[in-house]
Amino acid sequence: MLEKAEMSESETEPNRSHPNVPDIDQSDRHVPINLRQSGPTPVQMLISTRVRKSPFWHLAVEAGCWRATVYNRMYHPRGYVRPEDGGAMAEYDALVNRVTMWNVAVERQIRVKGPDAEAFVNYVITRDATKIKPMHGKYAILCNEKGGILNDPVLLRLENDEFWFSISDSDLMLWLQGVNVGKKFDVDIAEIDVSPLQIQGPLSEDLMAELFGDEVRTMPYYGLMRGKLAGADVIVSQTGFTGEKGYEIYTYDSTIHAEAVWYAVRGAGASYGLRVIAPAHHRRVAAGILSWGQDMDSETSPFQVNLAYQVPRKKQADYIGKEELERQRKIIDEGGFPFKMRMVGIKLGGQPITDYANDFWLISEPEGGRVGYVTSPWWSPELQTNIALCWVPHRLSELGTRLLVEVPEAYTERSGEPVAAEVVEVPFRPSVNPSARERAKARGRDWAY
Protein backbone atom coordinates (compact mmCIF):
# COMPACT_ATOMS: atom_id res chain seq x y z
CA MET A 1 0.00 0.00 0.00
CA LEU A 2 1.37 3.41 -0.96
CA GLU A 3 2.23 5.88 1.77
CA LYS A 4 0.41 9.22 1.45
CA ALA A 5 3.66 10.99 0.47
CA GLU A 6 4.02 8.65 -2.51
CA MET A 7 0.49 9.19 -3.86
CA SER A 8 -0.13 11.39 -6.87
CA GLU A 9 -2.07 14.62 -6.50
CA SER A 10 -5.10 13.09 -8.23
CA GLU A 11 -5.08 10.16 -5.82
CA THR A 12 -5.18 12.37 -2.72
CA GLU A 13 -8.01 14.63 -3.92
CA PRO A 14 -11.58 13.66 -2.99
CA ASN A 15 -13.65 11.93 -5.66
CA ARG A 16 -16.00 14.70 -6.80
CA SER A 17 -18.19 12.29 -8.77
CA HIS A 18 -19.14 10.32 -5.66
CA PRO A 19 -22.93 9.83 -5.51
CA ASN A 20 -23.15 11.46 -2.07
CA VAL A 21 -22.35 14.71 -3.94
CA PRO A 22 -19.40 16.07 -1.94
CA ASP A 23 -19.17 19.07 -4.29
CA ILE A 24 -22.00 20.59 -2.22
CA ASP A 25 -19.97 22.31 0.46
CA GLN A 26 -20.60 20.63 3.80
CA SER A 27 -17.22 21.48 5.29
CA ASP A 28 -18.97 23.03 8.31
CA ARG A 29 -20.13 19.55 9.34
CA HIS A 30 -18.34 16.59 10.92
CA VAL A 31 -20.85 14.16 9.37
CA PRO A 32 -22.13 15.32 5.96
CA ILE A 33 -25.79 14.88 5.11
CA ASN A 34 -26.15 11.79 2.89
CA LEU A 35 -27.25 13.33 -0.41
CA ARG A 36 -27.31 10.09 -2.39
CA GLN A 37 -30.49 9.96 -4.51
CA SER A 38 -31.68 6.44 -3.72
CA GLY A 39 -35.45 6.88 -4.19
CA PRO A 40 -38.04 4.67 -2.48
CA THR A 41 -36.75 1.83 -0.34
CA PRO A 42 -38.76 -1.30 -1.23
CA VAL A 43 -38.27 -3.17 2.03
CA GLN A 44 -40.64 -4.09 4.84
CA MET A 45 -40.03 -2.46 8.21
CA LEU A 46 -39.39 -5.10 10.86
CA ILE A 47 -41.82 -4.85 13.77
CA SER A 48 -39.80 -6.19 16.70
CA THR A 49 -39.28 -5.82 20.42
CA ARG A 50 -36.21 -3.63 19.81
CA VAL A 51 -38.39 -0.63 18.92
CA ARG A 52 -41.10 0.40 21.35
CA LYS A 53 -44.79 0.40 20.53
CA SER A 54 -46.64 3.27 22.16
CA PRO A 55 -49.84 2.68 24.14
CA PHE A 56 -51.74 4.01 21.09
CA TRP A 57 -49.93 1.87 18.48
CA HIS A 58 -52.54 -0.91 18.22
CA LEU A 59 -55.27 1.72 18.10
CA ALA A 60 -53.55 3.47 15.22
CA VAL A 61 -53.35 0.18 13.33
CA GLU A 62 -57.02 -0.40 14.06
CA ALA A 63 -57.76 3.08 12.65
CA GLY A 64 -56.10 2.16 9.36
CA CYS A 65 -52.42 3.03 9.77
CA TRP A 66 -50.69 1.44 6.77
CA ARG A 67 -47.17 2.84 7.07
CA ALA A 68 -44.91 4.05 9.85
CA THR A 69 -41.47 5.38 10.61
CA VAL A 70 -39.34 5.22 13.75
CA TYR A 71 -39.14 8.33 15.95
CA ASN A 72 -37.53 8.40 19.39
CA ARG A 73 -37.04 4.63 19.01
CA MET A 74 -40.81 4.14 18.82
CA TYR A 75 -43.03 3.20 15.87
CA HIS A 76 -44.72 6.33 14.55
CA PRO A 77 -47.79 6.25 12.23
CA ARG A 78 -47.20 8.18 8.99
CA GLY A 79 -50.20 7.32 6.85
CA TYR A 80 -53.85 6.29 7.26
CA VAL A 81 -55.50 7.20 3.96
CA ARG A 82 -54.24 4.96 1.16
CA PRO A 83 -52.82 6.65 -1.97
CA GLU A 84 -55.68 5.37 -4.11
CA ASP A 85 -58.11 7.12 -1.73
CA GLY A 86 -56.32 10.47 -1.73
CA GLY A 87 -53.35 9.73 0.52
CA ALA A 88 -51.68 12.48 2.52
CA MET A 89 -53.59 15.27 0.77
CA ALA A 90 -56.94 13.78 1.87
CA GLU A 91 -55.58 13.90 5.42
CA TYR A 92 -54.58 17.53 4.80
CA ASP A 93 -58.14 18.34 3.75
CA ALA A 94 -59.48 16.96 7.04
CA LEU A 95 -56.94 19.02 8.99
CA VAL A 96 -57.62 22.40 7.40
CA ASN A 97 -61.40 22.00 7.09
CA ARG A 98 -62.57 19.86 10.03
CA VAL A 99 -60.74 18.23 12.94
CA THR A 100 -58.13 15.49 13.21
CA MET A 101 -56.49 13.32 15.85
CA TRP A 102 -52.84 12.25 15.79
CA ASN A 103 -50.98 9.60 17.72
CA VAL A 104 -47.90 11.52 18.85
CA ALA A 105 -46.88 9.34 21.79
CA VAL A 106 -43.39 9.40 20.26
CA GLU A 107 -43.06 12.82 21.91
CA ARG A 108 -41.67 11.14 25.01
CA GLN A 109 -42.20 13.14 28.20
CA ILE A 110 -39.02 13.75 30.20
CA ARG A 111 -39.85 15.16 33.62
CA VAL A 112 -37.45 17.35 35.60
CA LYS A 113 -38.74 17.66 39.15
CA GLY A 114 -37.20 18.93 42.39
CA PRO A 115 -36.12 22.03 44.30
CA ASP A 116 -33.60 23.02 41.58
CA ALA A 117 -35.89 22.30 38.60
CA GLU A 118 -36.08 25.90 37.39
CA ALA A 119 -32.33 26.47 37.75
CA PHE A 120 -31.52 23.23 35.95
CA VAL A 121 -33.93 23.88 33.07
CA ASN A 122 -32.62 27.44 32.76
CA TYR A 123 -29.11 26.02 32.41
CA VAL A 124 -29.97 23.59 29.60
CA ILE A 125 -32.31 25.71 27.43
CA THR A 126 -31.31 28.87 25.60
CA ARG A 127 -34.36 30.95 26.45
CA ASP A 128 -35.20 32.19 29.97
CA ALA A 129 -37.01 29.45 31.92
CA THR A 130 -37.72 31.83 34.81
CA LYS A 131 -40.25 33.62 32.59
CA ILE A 132 -42.36 30.48 32.09
CA LYS A 133 -45.20 30.53 34.62
CA PRO A 134 -46.69 27.34 36.11
CA MET A 135 -49.41 25.84 33.89
CA HIS A 136 -47.85 27.38 30.80
CA GLY A 137 -45.53 26.05 28.11
CA LYS A 138 -43.07 27.34 25.54
CA TYR A 139 -41.32 26.10 22.44
CA ALA A 140 -37.64 25.82 23.41
CA ILE A 141 -34.31 24.61 22.12
CA LEU A 142 -31.35 23.00 23.85
CA CYS A 143 -27.85 23.39 22.43
CA ASN A 144 -24.52 21.71 23.04
CA GLU A 145 -21.38 23.67 23.90
CA LYS A 146 -20.77 24.30 20.17
CA GLY A 147 -24.19 25.89 19.72
CA GLY A 148 -25.67 22.88 17.88
CA ILE A 149 -29.37 22.22 18.42
CA LEU A 150 -29.84 18.98 20.38
CA ASN A 151 -33.63 19.07 20.60
CA ASP A 152 -36.54 21.48 20.19
CA PRO A 153 -39.23 20.35 22.61
CA VAL A 154 -42.40 21.93 23.82
CA LEU A 155 -41.49 22.67 27.42
CA LEU A 156 -44.40 22.43 29.88
CA ARG A 157 -44.21 23.87 33.38
CA LEU A 158 -46.70 22.06 35.60
CA GLU A 159 -45.54 23.42 38.96
CA ASN A 160 -42.80 25.68 40.30
CA ASP A 161 -40.68 22.55 40.74
CA GLU A 162 -41.84 20.44 37.78
CA PHE A 163 -41.16 20.72 34.04
CA TRP A 164 -41.91 18.28 31.21
CA PHE A 165 -39.82 18.20 28.03
CA SER A 166 -42.14 16.97 25.26
CA ILE A 167 -39.23 16.00 23.06
CA SER A 168 -38.49 15.74 19.38
CA ASP A 169 -36.44 12.92 17.88
CA SER A 170 -33.29 12.54 19.99
CA ASP A 171 -32.27 10.91 23.27
CA LEU A 172 -32.63 14.05 25.33
CA MET A 173 -33.15 12.23 28.63
CA LEU A 174 -29.64 10.77 28.44
CA TRP A 175 -28.17 14.23 27.74
CA LEU A 176 -30.04 15.81 30.66
CA GLN A 177 -29.01 13.06 33.04
CA GLY A 178 -25.41 13.28 31.82
CA VAL A 179 -25.29 17.05 32.34
CA ASN A 180 -26.45 16.62 35.92
CA VAL A 181 -23.82 14.03 36.79
CA GLY A 182 -21.32 16.87 37.09
CA LYS A 183 -23.65 19.73 38.00
CA LYS A 184 -25.57 17.91 40.74
CA PHE A 185 -28.71 20.03 40.69
CA ASP A 186 -31.27 18.75 43.19
CA VAL A 187 -33.66 17.28 40.62
CA ASP A 188 -34.99 13.95 39.43
CA ILE A 189 -34.78 13.43 35.65
CA ALA A 190 -36.80 10.58 34.16
CA GLU A 191 -39.21 9.59 31.42
CA ILE A 192 -42.77 9.31 32.72
CA ASP A 193 -45.77 7.26 31.58
CA VAL A 194 -47.52 10.16 29.85
CA SER A 195 -48.48 10.00 26.16
CA PRO A 196 -49.92 12.85 24.08
CA LEU A 197 -52.54 12.95 21.35
CA GLN A 198 -52.91 16.02 19.14
CA ILE A 199 -56.34 17.37 18.22
CA GLN A 200 -55.86 19.77 15.30
CA GLY A 201 -58.08 21.71 12.92
CA PRO A 202 -60.66 24.52 12.85
CA LEU A 203 -63.28 22.45 14.72
CA SER A 204 -60.83 21.38 17.44
CA GLU A 205 -61.99 24.07 19.89
CA ASP A 206 -65.61 22.93 19.72
CA LEU A 207 -64.62 19.29 20.16
CA MET A 208 -62.30 20.05 23.08
CA ALA A 209 -64.97 22.20 24.75
CA GLU A 210 -67.37 19.26 24.53
CA LEU A 211 -64.78 17.02 26.14
CA PHE A 212 -63.44 19.41 28.82
CA GLY A 213 -65.83 22.34 29.14
CA ASP A 214 -65.81 25.93 27.94
CA GLU A 215 -62.67 26.74 29.94
CA VAL A 216 -60.82 25.41 26.89
CA ARG A 217 -62.10 28.36 24.84
CA THR A 218 -60.28 30.90 27.03
CA MET A 219 -56.95 29.08 27.19
CA PRO A 220 -54.04 31.16 25.86
CA TYR A 221 -51.66 29.73 23.28
CA TYR A 222 -49.29 27.42 25.18
CA GLY A 223 -51.62 27.56 28.16
CA LEU A 224 -52.23 24.39 30.20
CA MET A 225 -55.19 23.03 32.17
CA ARG A 226 -55.87 19.87 34.12
CA GLY A 227 -58.80 17.67 33.22
CA LYS A 228 -60.31 14.21 33.27
CA LEU A 229 -61.34 12.14 30.28
CA ALA A 230 -62.86 8.68 30.47
CA GLY A 231 -61.63 8.34 34.05
CA ALA A 232 -58.05 9.33 33.22
CA ASP A 233 -56.18 12.37 34.51
CA VAL A 234 -54.90 14.49 31.65
CA ILE A 235 -53.13 17.76 30.91
CA VAL A 236 -54.54 19.82 28.04
CA SER A 237 -52.40 22.34 26.17
CA GLN A 238 -53.21 24.67 23.31
CA THR A 239 -50.30 23.70 21.06
CA GLY A 240 -49.57 21.61 18.00
CA PHE A 241 -47.37 20.80 15.02
CA THR A 242 -49.41 22.90 12.57
CA GLY A 243 -50.38 26.48 11.91
CA GLU A 244 -54.02 25.52 12.59
CA LYS A 245 -56.01 25.79 15.81
CA GLY A 246 -55.03 22.82 17.93
CA TYR A 247 -54.53 21.13 21.27
CA GLU A 248 -52.66 18.28 22.88
CA ILE A 249 -54.06 15.84 25.44
CA TYR A 250 -51.35 14.37 27.70
CA THR A 251 -52.67 11.22 29.37
CA TYR A 252 -51.25 10.17 32.74
CA ASP A 253 -50.61 6.41 33.21
CA SER A 254 -51.13 6.05 29.50
CA THR A 255 -50.27 2.35 29.42
CA ILE A 256 -53.50 1.85 31.41
CA HIS A 257 -55.75 4.59 30.02
CA ALA A 258 -54.79 4.78 26.32
CA GLU A 259 -57.83 2.92 24.97
CA ALA A 260 -60.35 4.80 27.11
CA VAL A 261 -58.99 8.23 26.12
CA TRP A 262 -58.63 7.31 22.42
CA TYR A 263 -62.20 6.03 22.12
CA ALA A 264 -63.62 8.96 24.12
CA VAL A 265 -62.08 11.42 21.65
CA ARG A 266 -63.16 9.40 18.62
CA GLY A 267 -66.69 9.02 19.98
CA ALA A 268 -67.18 12.71 20.64
CA GLY A 269 -65.33 13.62 17.44
CA ALA A 270 -67.63 11.62 15.16
CA SER A 271 -70.21 14.43 15.01
CA TYR A 272 -67.46 16.87 13.97
CA GLY A 273 -66.16 14.65 11.18
CA LEU A 274 -62.98 13.78 13.09
CA ARG A 275 -60.41 11.79 11.16
CA VAL A 276 -57.36 10.00 12.54
CA ILE A 277 -54.38 11.16 10.48
CA ALA A 278 -50.59 11.20 10.52
CA PRO A 279 -48.66 14.29 11.70
CA ALA A 280 -49.29 16.91 9.04
CA HIS A 281 -45.85 17.74 7.69
CA HIS A 282 -47.48 19.39 4.68
CA ARG A 283 -49.11 21.96 6.99
CA ARG A 284 -46.14 22.45 9.31
CA VAL A 285 -43.94 23.27 6.28
CA ALA A 286 -46.40 25.97 5.22
CA ALA A 287 -46.23 27.35 8.77
CA GLY A 288 -42.42 27.31 8.74
CA ILE A 289 -42.26 24.80 11.61
CA LEU A 290 -39.01 22.84 11.63
CA SER A 291 -38.62 19.10 12.12
CA TRP A 292 -35.56 18.05 14.13
CA GLY A 293 -33.53 15.42 12.29
CA GLN A 294 -34.99 16.46 8.94
CA ASP A 295 -34.44 20.22 8.73
CA MET A 296 -31.86 20.60 11.52
CA ASP A 297 -29.74 18.52 13.86
CA SER A 298 -26.97 18.71 16.46
CA GLU A 299 -24.63 20.37 13.94
CA THR A 300 -27.11 23.19 13.21
CA SER A 301 -26.93 26.61 14.86
CA PRO A 302 -30.20 28.42 15.62
CA PHE A 303 -28.83 31.34 13.57
CA GLN A 304 -28.84 29.14 10.47
CA VAL A 305 -32.53 28.23 10.73
CA ASN A 306 -34.22 31.49 11.78
CA LEU A 307 -34.36 30.54 15.46
CA ALA A 308 -32.41 33.53 16.73
CA TYR A 309 -35.39 34.54 18.85
CA GLN A 310 -34.64 31.44 20.91
CA VAL A 311 -31.30 32.99 21.90
CA PRO A 312 -32.26 36.09 23.92
CA ARG A 313 -29.72 38.87 24.23
CA LYS A 314 -30.82 39.72 27.77
CA LYS A 315 -30.64 36.34 29.47
CA GLN A 316 -28.13 36.89 32.26
CA ALA A 317 -27.88 33.33 33.55
CA ASP A 318 -25.30 30.98 32.07
CA TYR A 319 -26.49 28.12 29.88
CA ILE A 320 -24.90 25.42 27.76
CA GLY A 321 -23.72 26.90 24.45
CA LYS A 322 -24.05 30.55 25.53
CA GLU A 323 -20.43 31.53 24.89
CA GLU A 324 -20.39 30.07 21.38
CA LEU A 325 -23.81 31.43 20.44
CA GLU A 326 -22.84 34.92 21.58
CA ARG A 327 -19.65 34.62 19.49
CA GLN A 328 -21.73 33.72 16.43
CA ARG A 329 -24.15 36.59 16.97
CA LYS A 330 -21.32 39.09 17.35
CA ILE A 331 -20.08 38.14 13.86
CA ILE A 332 -23.61 38.59 12.48
CA ASP A 333 -24.05 41.92 14.26
CA GLU A 334 -20.86 43.09 12.56
CA GLY A 335 -22.23 42.22 9.12
CA GLY A 336 -20.74 38.75 8.68
CA PHE A 337 -22.17 35.25 8.76
CA PRO A 338 -20.19 32.50 10.54
CA PHE A 339 -21.54 29.62 8.45
CA LYS A 340 -21.42 28.60 4.81
CA MET A 341 -25.03 27.39 4.61
CA ARG A 342 -28.39 28.50 5.94
CA MET A 343 -31.99 27.42 5.64
CA VAL A 344 -34.45 29.26 3.38
CA GLY A 345 -37.93 28.74 2.02
CA ILE A 346 -38.56 28.30 -1.69
CA LYS A 347 -41.46 28.01 -4.07
CA LEU A 348 -40.71 25.52 -6.82
CA GLY A 349 -42.29 24.32 -10.02
CA GLY A 350 -43.09 20.83 -11.18
CA GLN A 351 -46.04 18.53 -10.60
CA PRO A 352 -47.72 18.69 -7.15
CA ILE A 353 -45.60 17.05 -4.45
CA THR A 354 -48.22 15.14 -2.50
CA ASP A 355 -46.14 12.75 -0.40
CA TYR A 356 -42.97 12.59 1.66
CA ALA A 357 -39.68 12.99 -0.17
CA ASN A 358 -37.43 9.92 -0.08
CA ASP A 359 -34.25 11.95 -0.49
CA PHE A 360 -32.74 15.39 0.05
CA TRP A 361 -33.27 16.72 -3.48
CA LEU A 362 -30.35 18.64 -4.95
CA ILE A 363 -30.32 22.37 -5.71
CA SER A 364 -28.26 24.12 -8.39
CA GLU A 365 -27.61 27.68 -9.46
CA PRO A 366 -29.17 28.48 -12.86
CA GLU A 367 -25.71 29.01 -14.38
CA GLY A 368 -23.59 27.00 -11.99
CA GLY A 369 -23.19 23.70 -10.19
CA ARG A 370 -25.00 22.02 -7.36
CA VAL A 371 -25.01 24.14 -4.23
CA GLY A 372 -27.63 22.86 -1.77
CA TYR A 373 -30.46 20.49 -0.98
CA VAL A 374 -34.16 20.38 -0.08
CA THR A 375 -35.20 18.95 3.30
CA SER A 376 -39.01 19.32 3.42
CA PRO A 377 -41.03 19.75 0.19
CA TRP A 378 -44.84 19.65 -0.18
CA TRP A 379 -47.66 20.95 -2.35
CA SER A 380 -49.67 23.89 -0.91
CA PRO A 381 -53.31 23.76 -2.09
CA GLU A 382 -53.90 27.32 -0.84
CA LEU A 383 -50.91 28.77 -2.70
CA GLN A 384 -51.32 26.43 -5.67
CA THR A 385 -47.59 25.78 -5.79
CA ASN A 386 -44.95 23.48 -4.36
CA ILE A 387 -43.13 24.85 -1.31
CA ALA A 388 -40.06 23.63 0.54
CA LEU A 389 -37.51 24.29 3.23
CA CYS A 390 -33.96 23.90 2.00
CA TRP A 391 -30.27 24.57 2.64
CA VAL A 392 -28.29 26.89 0.37
CA PRO A 393 -25.08 28.93 0.67
CA HIS A 394 -25.60 32.15 2.60
CA ARG A 395 -24.85 34.19 -0.56
CA LEU A 396 -27.94 32.63 -2.22
CA SER A 397 -30.34 33.21 0.67
CA GLU A 398 -31.75 36.59 -0.35
CA LEU A 399 -35.46 36.78 -1.19
CA GLY A 400 -36.02 36.49 -4.93
CA THR A 401 -32.89 34.41 -5.61
CA ARG A 402 -33.48 32.03 -8.53
CA LEU A 403 -32.51 28.37 -8.17
CA LEU A 404 -33.05 24.99 -9.83
CA VAL A 405 -34.22 21.83 -8.02
CA GLU A 406 -33.57 18.30 -9.26
CA VAL A 407 -36.93 16.69 -8.43
CA PRO A 408 -37.76 13.01 -9.05
CA GLU A 409 -39.10 12.12 -12.48
CA ALA A 410 -42.69 11.92 -11.18
CA TYR A 411 -42.62 15.63 -10.33
CA THR A 412 -40.76 17.04 -13.33
CA GLU A 413 -42.28 19.35 -15.93
CA ARG A 414 -39.95 18.01 -18.64
CA SER A 415 -38.34 14.62 -18.26
CA GLY A 416 -34.79 14.80 -16.96
CA GLU A 417 -34.81 18.56 -16.34
CA PRO A 418 -34.74 20.41 -12.99
CA VAL A 419 -37.59 22.73 -12.06
CA ALA A 420 -37.32 26.45 -11.37
CA ALA A 421 -37.41 27.74 -7.79
CA GLU A 422 -37.31 31.08 -5.99
CA VAL A 423 -36.34 32.00 -2.42
CA VAL A 424 -39.41 33.36 -0.62
CA GLU A 425 -40.44 34.43 2.84
CA VAL A 426 -41.19 31.90 5.58
CA PRO A 427 -43.80 31.12 6.82
CA PHE A 428 -45.40 30.54 3.46
CA ARG A 429 -48.91 31.32 4.73
CA PRO A 430 -50.33 32.82 7.94
CA SER A 431 -50.93 30.69 11.02
CA VAL A 432 -53.98 30.71 13.29
CA ASN A 433 -51.55 30.96 16.21
CA PRO A 434 -48.64 33.07 14.87
CA SER A 435 -45.17 32.09 16.01
CA ALA A 436 -42.97 34.49 18.00
CA ARG A 437 -41.12 35.27 14.78
CA GLU A 438 -44.37 36.02 12.91
CA ARG A 439 -45.52 38.31 15.72
CA ALA A 440 -42.18 40.12 15.72
CA LYS A 441 -42.32 40.70 11.97
CA ALA A 442 -45.87 42.06 12.32
CA ARG A 443 -44.41 44.65 14.71
CA GLY A 444 -41.75 45.56 12.16
CA ARG A 445 -38.93 43.65 13.82
CA ASP A 446 -36.92 41.01 11.95
CA TRP A 447 -35.78 38.21 14.22
CA ALA A 448 -33.84 36.28 11.59
CA TYR A 449 -30.68 36.94 13.60
DSSP letters spanning 46-113: P--TTSB--TTHHHHHHTT--EEEEETTEEEEEE-S-GGGTHHHHHHHHHHHS-EEEE-TTS-EEEEE
For residue 177, with 0-12 CB atoms within 10 Å meaning exposed, 13-18 middle and 19 or more buried, which class applies? middle
Mean residue pLDDT of the chain comes to: 93
Number of domains in the chain: 1
Task: Give the confidence band of 17 by pLDDT, cuts at 50, 70, 90.
Answer: low
Q: Is residue 76 part of a domain?
A: no
Binding-site members for substrate are 248
Specify the pLDDT at position 433. Answer: 73
Determine the length of the chain: 449
Q: Which amino acid is at 239?
A: T
DSSP string across 145-180: TTS-EEE-PEEEEEETTEEEEE--SS-HHHHHHHHH
| Integer Cα distance of 81 and 91 in angstroms | 7
Specify the pLDDT at position 442. Answer: 67
Specify the pLDDT at position 437. Answer: 62
Q: What is the mean pLDDT of the segment spanning 420-430?
A: 95
State which residues form the domain around 415: 291-442
Minimum mean pLDDT among 41-50, 67-76, 308-317, 325-334: which range? 41-50
Q: Is residue 325 part of a domain?
A: yes
CA-based nearest residue to 314, from 298, 305, 326: 326
Q: Is residue 340 part of a domain?
A: yes
| Integer Cα distance of 75 and 67 in angstroms | 10
Per DSSP bridges, beta strands 162-166 and 74-79 are unpaired
Q: What is the mean pLDDT of the segment spanning 262-282?
A: 97
Q: Is residue 264 part of a domain?
A: no
Residue-wise pLDDT tens digits, 38-97: 998 888 888 899 999 999 999 999 999 999 999 999 999 999 999 999 999 999 999 999
Query: Is the confidence at residue 449, as pLDDT, over 60?
Result: no
What CATH number does the domain containing 360 carry? 3.30.1360.120
| Integer Cα distance of 108 and 381 in angstroms | 32
Residues linked to residue 70 through DSSP beta bridges, in sequence order: 75
Specify the pLDDT at position 441. Answer: 65
Q: Is residue 238 part of a domain?
A: no
Binding-site members are 248
| Integer Cα distance of 190 and 36 in angstroms | 38
Q: Is residue 424 part of a domain?
A: yes
Task: Give the confidence band of 21 by pLDDT, cuts at 50, 70, 90.
Answer: confident
Q: Are 200 and 100 in contact (CB under 8 A)?
A: yes
Specify the pLDDT at position 235. Answer: 98
Q: Is residue 331 part of a domain?
A: yes
- Among residues of the chain, what percentage have pLDDT more than 70? 93
Q: Is residue 57 part of a domain?
A: no
